[in-house]
Amino acid sequence: HELRTPLTVLGGYIETLRHIEKIRPEELRKHLTVMHEQSARMQRLVDDLLTLSKLETSPPRTQDETVDVPALLAGLKEQAEILSGESRHVITLEAEPGLKLLGSREELTSAFLNLINNAIRYTPAGGTVRLTWHTRNGGAEFIVADSGEGIAPEHIPHLTERFYRVDTGRSRASGGTGLGLSIVKHVLLRHDAHLDIESELGRGSNFICIFPPSRTQNARNPRSAGTG
């Protein structure tokens, strides 16, 4: 259904254009804009579905990398500023130097970026998005805190289900696929970690990724993969 709708819209437009003899350039441009939006939406969906199926079907990694999370987050903060663009969110990053993770850089990037992307999309222009990475109970946690619209408590337990959205129209209008948090959940599972969501309607949300000591590495606690 999620893929069929944009495909049907696109097919409809192509069919219409095929039978038109004469069309004004501005009308053609209008049609092409809708077609472009629909194909971009399908592209995002297919990308997210492929990411998700790879996460679900690939065997546990045997080789973990040591991921320099503060460096990774510095790059993601720059991407966040680009995503925010004209909306000019106030984006801050506080990362504990030298605090690293054992895992997959690619997967962690995808999970963290999904959370950051959501914080920006569900926070009105000019709002704040705070990124924090620090030690917690011998492990580590990554927090994305936004001053956005927040989420009513009854929705929170369902947010990581595929295609679950509080407001479908709003999600789609901002380029959402409804798969972001499912991807986050699977990446965290593959890192022995879990997601905590705290939110208050109208005040904002905290999405917290909690990693166990066996996955974390810092100057005082240098572990190597597999010995944790």
State in Å, rounded, how far the first CA of the chain is from the last one.
Answer: 44
Q: Does 147 bind ligand ADP (CB under 6 A)?
A: no
| Residue among 64, 103, 142, 146 that touches ligand ADP (CB under 6 A) | 146
**Cα dihedral 212, 213, 215, 221 in deg (nearest 10):** 160
Binder to ligand ADP among 76, 145, 179, 187 (CB under 6 A)? 179
- How far apart are CB 189 and ligand ADP at their closest, in Å? 15
Q: Which residues partner with 221 through β-bridges?
A: 218
Please work out, in degrees rounded to the nearest 5, the angle formed at the alpha carbon of residue 148 by the alpha carbons of 144 and 150.
90
Identify residue 38 by its one-letter amino acid code.
Q
Instruction: State how far the alpha carbon of 93 is from the alpha carbons of 116, 128, 133, 156, 227, in Å.
Output: 11, 11, 8, 25, 30
Stretch that binds ligand ADP, among 3-11, 82-90, 97-105, 114-122 (CB under 6 A): 114-122
Stretch that binds ligand ADP, among 16-24, 68-76, 83-91, 113-121 (CB under 6 A): 113-121
- As measured in angstroms, the least distance from the Cβ of 187 to ligand ADP is 13
Token pair 């045997």 in the structure block, residue: 62
Which stretch in 1-9, 24-32, 180-188, 215-223 sits in contact with ligand ADP by CB under 6 A? 180-188
Going by C-alpha positions, the residue among 173, 160, 141 that lies closest to residue 40 is 173
Q: How many residues does the chain have?
A: 228
Mask for 118-137, x = binds ligand ADP (CB under 6 A): xx--x---------------
> Which positions from 38 through 77 interact with ligand ADP, judged by CB under 6 A?
none
Report the residue from 6, 103, 127, 148 that binds ligand ADP according to the rule CB under 6 A.
148
195 binds ligand ADP (CB under 6 A): no
Burial of 191 (0-12, 13-18, 19+ CB in 10 A): buried
Which residues are at the interface with ligand ADP (CB under 6 A)?
A: 114, 118-119, 122, 146, 148-149, 151, 159, 164-167, 171, 176-182, 205
